[in-house]
Structure 1
Amino acid sequence: MKTIRVLLLGAIFLSFISTSCSQENNKPAQIAWDKWGVPHISADNIHDLFYAQGWAQMHNHANLILKLYGSSRGKGAEYWSKDKLQNDILICTLGFEELAEAWEAQQDPRVKTIIKSFVEGLNAYAKAHPEAIDKENKIVLPITTKDVNMHSMFVIFTRFIASGELELSQQWGSMGSNAYAVGPSRSASGNAMLVQNPHLPWFNEFLFFESHLTLNGKDMYGVTLVGLPGISIGFNKNLGWTHTNNTIDNSDIYEIELKDGGYLLDGKRNDFDVTTKTIRVKQDDGTWAPSEVSVLKTVHGPVIGKKNDKALALRMVGLDKPNMLLQWWQMANSNNFEEFESALKMAQIGFWNVIYADKEGNIFYLFNGLVPKRKAGDWAYWSSIVPGGKSENIWTEMHPYEDLPKLKNPETGWIQNANDPPWTCTVPVALNPKDYPPYMAPAGMSFRPQRAARMMLEDSSVTFDELIGYKLSTRMEFADRILDDLFAAIAHSGSQKAKEAGAVLEKWDREANADSKGTLLFYLWALKFNVGNPANYVVKWDTEHPDTTPDGISDPARAVQLLEATVDEMKANFGRLDVPWGDFYRLRQNGKDLPANGATGELGVFRVAHSYDSPNGKQMYVGSGDSWVGIIEFGDSVRAKVLLSYGNATQKGSPHNGDQLELFSRKELRDAWFTPEQVKANATRTEILTKGGFHNIPFTPSI
């Protein structure tokens, strides 16, 4: 009898949907949710597709999204706490509210449709599910299109383009990425392959949202940052791309001299453009107090610091580029390299390298971004505080796409980037820095990209499974480079403490797996040694040997002393030297506490897992590193393995808050369900769009 009632209810529900859709002459959008909390969204028009993505994001991240948007509005202090005041002042100073209004007037109609539809979906979910939203966050509702623009500005400009200038990079620590593109000549199958692997913090505006979008039968799969619509790192059946943080200088801090309440430029006094703004600040007793903010602007840009007779002004690229989301959408919809490159030439995305592979066998690297045209000066000059007294230092034009370093289908058959400059995207090098302005990018190749290059150089025929192994590799390039010199220093010293440590390191597998014994000892020693200091090496890094230098310990006695200090530290904290890495290095989220693998990329580990904790206790916890992993092979059909390390949801009661950490702990990936058959076989529930939002289908197709 129960089955009959379910069938009857299902028939009535489908009848309603069918009648509703026949009147509008379109097929209803639907969301098929899989067991990892990934929404597989299908629609036959842009509005419904992005409405559904907004609904799905809100389902998985409602409270996080409202927190992010409230903060990006510059109203964190008003909504929540005076602790948010400095962030609000920054947003006022940079003028994001006014810029958002300008962007909305200038944006391509397609961008407006995407954002408007996405916002409608966000608000519809909030209205349909008020129980999902914490009381303190309801004040942010309703969400507006302006919120999406302001949040995108906040993330792009303050967390990436100007993060160094705003001194945010230290606060958020390890932000980077790995990427590979393997061409047919290097691939065992003859198919191009791609590795997507951004390393961002595992919290707040840096979290990714995974989704699968199908528009009129065309599939797109990947991730975007929570709170933004679309796909910013992804693939379709024909091609895929990823981003890595690049060594690009596209914002500058100018030091300007003050005079008589104004500032000097070319020897003449100029008035500041002054605006006064009021920020409401919530007090401990729940009342609000006003805080006046005086915003000063020069011809360089807004003033972000002032002291005595000097001020610092910030100039950033991209303020006149309102269609960034459209460029990503065009990239995701491209069918071949020509279409993809046409999207890149839109030049709306001011940051990030692009690494690409496609079904036709093309692989491609682009030093993407908006690089200012400068009249003089090298990388060192422009990456420091720039003298602001000369108008000739104030750039206005950008280098066009044609000027940017790029490489398509190199003879080596592979491309990598691990946040190194463009010149080492393949080895032997194929791009010459002398062919570009001296301020375009620095020279250098740290141990992590050297590890990336080594794995490719040692394998002339890379299989899909081998590529997965390389991505998950915890081998330490720095250990391979320096241990022979450390062992020699230990032998020469005669130190018993050092010899005891050397015996552990001799047996060590030189990896950072959970069961590796010796990793912690080497890690603590390496922190004291200071891996990034060129003075610590006999042979300095060399452009002629980019993947085998630096080498040799310049002060062996100091290295041994540091090792002795490390022995004392480990015995005091653990009573032994052979502590398994996973006992010390942990994954902890939403009640889970698991052994971690990987380590900071500074040591040349490709499996990046960074901790914000100080290593002076019994344990450290991973807080950034491998965020999204996608490994894709473009054959007759797409083959993809993925992982979103921290899970696809942050809602407190969601089963997907941290549910992929166990896979991370076991060094495993999962299948990306991309075809209709795969989605159908792995869906746990399906929602269909009606006039009131999305509703579960009240019966399963198997009944």
Structure 2
Amino acid sequence: MLLGNPHFPWSGPNRFYELHLTIPGQMDVMGVGIGTYPMVSIGFNKDVAWSHTVSTGKRFTLYELTLADGDPTSYLVDGKPEKMSARKVSLALPGPDGKPQVMEHTVWSSRWGPLVIIPRAGLTWNTKTAYALRDANTGNTRMMDAAIAFAHAKSVQDLHKAHANLGLPWVNTLAADRSGTAMYTDVSVVPDLDAAQLERCVPSKPAAALRNAAGLVVLNGARADCAWHSDSRSPVPGLIPIERMPVAFRGDWVQNSNDSYLYTHPGQKFEGISPMVGDASVQRPRTRAGLTEIPEMLGRGKLTLHAIQDQLFQNRNFMGSVIMPDLLAACEKAPAGALSPESRDGCAALKGWDLRNNLNSRGAHLFQEFWRTARNIPSVYRVPFDLKEPVATPAGLKMNDPAVAAKVWQSLDNAVKTVRTAGFALDATLGSVQHPDITEEPIPLHGGYEFVGVLNNLGRQDPEPQPINARGLRIDYGTSYVQTVTFDARGPVAEAILTYGQSTDPASPHANDQLREFSAKRWHRLPFHAEDIAKQRVGKDLTLVR
């Protein structure tokens, strides 16, 4: 069984998927999403259902070039100079007067790929060094073949074999079949580098630091042995073959919330996987939420389609559950007059919060504003992250540290001021605050931002989550297509919600129809069999001919 909560922009192309849970057994349920590719990228057939999450694998590496003395267009490899190649490209763009204006640019390339300049990362082109980029997805049209093979799969094993051409550019796959087997795999496009090579090929210290600071892998381009490996089993030279990528076939469950493959299942072990695929860090509170809620859900007994749907739309706020006990305890223990009026009022409002992000949850928006900044306080957690306890840690607030406590109270003060300045009560319901940004129709939305760990993830596409303002919390990103599927004797039985509506035409009556259904937590049965599709068809058939 798999629970799907895709995470897309609410306008523009679909991007990626959120929480997915696969639990075969008495009932095989799977979440499915549909991408904007010219084929079914994510979906189901008679026997198998599948979905994707964003993999933590790297898709490119940068190379630090040591330039030859006196020649900034030549670089050294094993002490020998190599000349860069140059290619002029042109593009017609509208000029200031609206007329076409031809722009020309010279693209310089090395054996490692084209040269790039990234000033924000300190990667420039001077007389000593330059930087080149090798992209693992260059020329990747293999996904079309992989998608066709997915459609013909009769089991999760077939689905896994369909990955062998390394066509999936940046996603994990989670799947379940009618026989009761669940699968997680990350067979995506990843440069073939092992830990020893990453250690051996470190560039200058500033460039090497970008791996942890920004996730950019920079290699020493002055050494020929820093090239990607070429495994004879790989259909694409330089990419990690399917045999050395993580895969898990299980009879219980697997999950992924866009974090490392290592957190697929507590009992699942992987060996020999390159650091380029993922590491042991937990980046997303939703991963911790999923690994907490799944066992709890299983403990309640036999799962059903509606039980899965209810679990997702419980809208439990994971960070609230691990932070609020310490914050409220500090509120109670604070001596009279020790707290500012803002912190005192904030404590009172949060005391009445149900730790959820439902429409009727009071104070969820205040916690979100508080945690938006408090999460960045150095050493804020009472229990720091422990690799042995990745779900339970970090947790709590280090309120016994006066310096930390002062910053926590300041974050609460600022959150209260921000909410009030926006014109909302501290104990307002979330439904009165959180609405879509793609329409002015005041449709209340449940769900929460990534950094608070709500499985039903909503937010904005800004680089950083924006504070509440006079328009409230306006959502343009997140849970977009939610689907659960179970199999009966005839085939799949699917219920779904296309959150942002069935039409991209704002004037269409279907523009916001599903958004209202999402708000009300009403699911719809999707057709699969020909007669069911005929009954639900809207509009004329569109026939494509060669």
Structure 1 match to 2:435? 586
Residue type of the partner of 2:534? K
Q: Superposed, which structure 2 residues align to 1:304-453 within 5 Å?
A: 304-305=116-117, 306-309=124-127, 310-375=129-194, 376-377=197-198, 380=212, 383-396=216-229, 397-410=238-251, 413-426=252-265, 428-432=266-270, 435-445=272-282, 446-453=284-291
Secondary structure (helix, strand or coil) at the match of 2:420 reads: helix
Query: Shift of the alpha carbon at 1:676?
Result: 2.4
Map residues 172-187 of structure 1 onto 2, 5 A cutoff.
177-184=18-25
For residues 652 and 488 of structure 1, what CA distance do their matches in structure 2 show? 48
Residue identity matched to 2:225: E
Contact kept? 2:75, 2:83, Cα under 8 Å: yes
**Distance in 2 of aligned mates of 1:474 and 1:584:** 16
Amino acid of the residue matched to residue 441 of structure 1?
G
CA offset at residue 590 of structure 1? 4.8
Q: Which amino acid aligns with 1:274?
A: A
Q: Does structure 1 retain, via aligned residues, the 8 Å contact 2:320–2:452? A: yes
Corresponding residue of 2:110: 298
Distance apart, 1:582 and its partner CA: 2.3
Query: Given the alignment of the two structures, is residue 237 of structure 1 paired with residue 89 of structure 2, yes or no?
Result: no
CA distance in 1, matches of 2:102, 2:540: 48
Task: Quote how far apart the aligned CAs of 1:521 are.
Answer: 0.8
Corresponding residue SS for 1:570 = helix
Q: Trace 1:546-557 onto structure 2 (pairs within 5 A).
A: 546-554=390-398, 555-557=404-406
In structure 1, distance between residues paired with 2:155 and 2:461: 41
Contact 1:255–1:388 (CA under 8 A) maintained in structure 2: yes
- Amino acid across the alignment from 2:434: Y
Cα distance in 2 for residues equivalent to 1:367 and 1:472: 27
Contact 1:486 1:556 in 2 (8 A): no
Deviation (angstroms), 1:454: 1.4
Q: Helix, strand or coil for the counterpart of 1:429?
A: coil
Distance 2:424 2:494 in 1: 44
> What's the secondary structure of 1:235's corresponding residue?
coil
Letter in 2 for 1:313: A
* 380 and 616 in structure 1: CA distance in 2 versus 1, 3 angstrom threshold: closer
Match of 1:607 among 453, 456, 461: 456
In 2, the alpha carbon distance for the partners of 1:576 and 1:655 equals 33
Matched residues in 2 for 1:549 and 1:422: separation? 18
Alignment partner of 2:267: what SS? coil
CA distance 1:657–1:497, shift in 2 (3 Å): closer
**1:489 aligns to what SS in structure 2?**
helix
Over 3 Å counting, the alpha-carbon distance change for 1:586 and 1:634 in structure 2 is same
The residue correspondences of 1:217-236 to structure 2 (distance < 5 A) are 223-225=34-36, 228-236=37-45
1:505 Cα deviation after fit: 1.3
| Residues 192, 634 of structure 1: 8 Å contact kept | yes
Q: Please give the secondary structure, in 1, of the residue aligned with 2:392.
A: coil
Question: Is contact 2:27–2:303 with CA below 8 Å preserved after alignment?
Answer: no
- Determine the structure 2 residue equivalent to 1:266: 78
Deviation for aligned residue 1:591: 5.1
Cα 1:513–1:651 change in 2 (3 A) is same
Q: Does 1:459 align with 2:311?
A: no
Matched residues in 2 for 1:658 and 1:237: separation? 30
Structure 2: how far apart are the matches of 1:534 and 1:387?
A: 33
Which letter maps to 1:624?
Y
Residue aligning to 2:523: 669
- Closer/same/farther in 2, CA of residues 535 and 385 from structure 1, 3 Å limit: farther
**Structure 1: gaps (5+ residues):** 1-63, 69-154, 160-174, 185-189, 197-221, 694-703
- Paired with 1:455 and 1:505, the residues of 2 have a C-alpha distance of 23
2:344 counterpart residue number: 499
Report the TM-score, using the length of structure 1 for normalisation. 0.65
In the TM superposition, 1:27-38 aligns within 5 A as: none
Secondary structure of 1:368's counterpart equals coil
Q: Would you say the 8 A contact 1:489–1:559 is kept in 2?
A: no
Task: Please say which of residues 317-326 and 288-297 is displaced more in the overlay.
Answer: 317-326
In structure 2, do the counterparts of structure 1 residues 497 and 620 end up closer, same or farther at CA, with 3 Å as the change threshold? Answer: closer
Unaligned runs of 5+ in 2: 1-10, 118-123, 200-210, 230-237, 399-403
Per-residue deviation, 1:686: 4.2
Q: Structure 1: how far apart are the matches of 2:217 and 2:49? A: 36
Q: In 1, Cα distance between the equivalents of 2:503 and 2:115?
A: 38
CA distance in 2, matches of 1:438, 1:595: 42
- When the two chains are superposed, the root-mean-square deviation of aligned CA atoms in Å is 2.6
2 CA distance for matches of 1:371 and 1:652? 40
Matched, 1:287 2:99: yes
Deviations 1:518-540 (A, max 9, x none): 11110000011126x77321322
Q: C-alpha separation between the residues in 1 aligned to 2:181 and 2:487?
A: 10
Residues 84-115 of structure 1 show CA distances to partners (whole Å, capped at 9, x for unaligned) of: xxxxxxxxxxxxxxxxxxxxxxxxxxxxxxxx
Change (3 A) 1:570 1:648: closer
Counterpart residue number, 2:513 = 659
The answer to whether residue 114 in structure 2 is matched with residue 277 in structure 1 is no
Shift of 1:677: 3.0
The equivalent of 2:486 in structure 1 is 633
C-alpha separation between the residues in 1 aligned to 2:172 and 2:378? 26
Contact map agreement 2:172 2:186 (CA 8 A) in 1? yes
Contact 2:17 2:52 in 1 (8 A): no
**Aligned-residue offset at 1:589:** 2.5
Secondary structure (helix, strand or coil) at the match of 2:131 reads strand
Alignment correspondent of 2:420: 571
Task: Measure, in 1, the Cα distance between the counterparts of 2:308 and 2:258.
Answer: 19
Verify: 1:620 aligned to 2:502, yes or no: no
For residues 120-176 of structure 1, give each alpha carbon's deviation from its aligned partner in whole angstroms, at most 9, with x where no partner exists: xxxxxxxxxxxxxxxxxxxxxxxxxxxxxxxxxxx9xxx8xxxxxxxxxxxxxxx65
Contact 1:444–1:541 (8 Å) recurs in 2: no
Q: What is the SS of the residue equivalent to 2:446?
A: coil
Larger relative helix fraction: 1
Normalised to the residue count of structure 2, the TM-score between the two structures is 0.83
Kept in 2: contact 1:588–1:594 (CA 8 A): no
Q: Counterpart amino acid of 2:125? A: K
Instruction: Specify the code of the residue in structure 1 equivalent to 2:27.
Output: N
- CA 1:366–1:575: 2 relative to 1, 3 Å: closer
Q: What letter matches 1:474 in structure 2? A: N
SS in 2 for 1:279: strand
Q: Is the 8 A contact 1:191 1:635 kept in 2?
A: no
Partners in 2 of 1:471 and 1:273 — Cα distance? 53
Deviation for aligned residue 1:649: 3.1
| C-alpha contact (below 8 Å) 1:274/1:294 kept by paired residues | yes
Deviates more, 1:454-463 or 1:417-426: 454-463
In structure 2, what is the Cα distance between the partners aligned to 1:655 and 1:255?
55
Name the CA shift for 1:492/1:690 in 2 (closer, same or farther; >3 Å).
closer
SS at match of 2:35: strand
- Aligned counterparts of 1:338 and 1:383: Cα–Cα separation in 2: 33
Structure 1 residue 406 displacement after superposition: 1.2
Q: CA deviation at 1:307?
A: 3.1
Question: Which position in structure 1 is the counterpart of 2:6?
Answer: none
Output the amino acid matched with 2:469: G
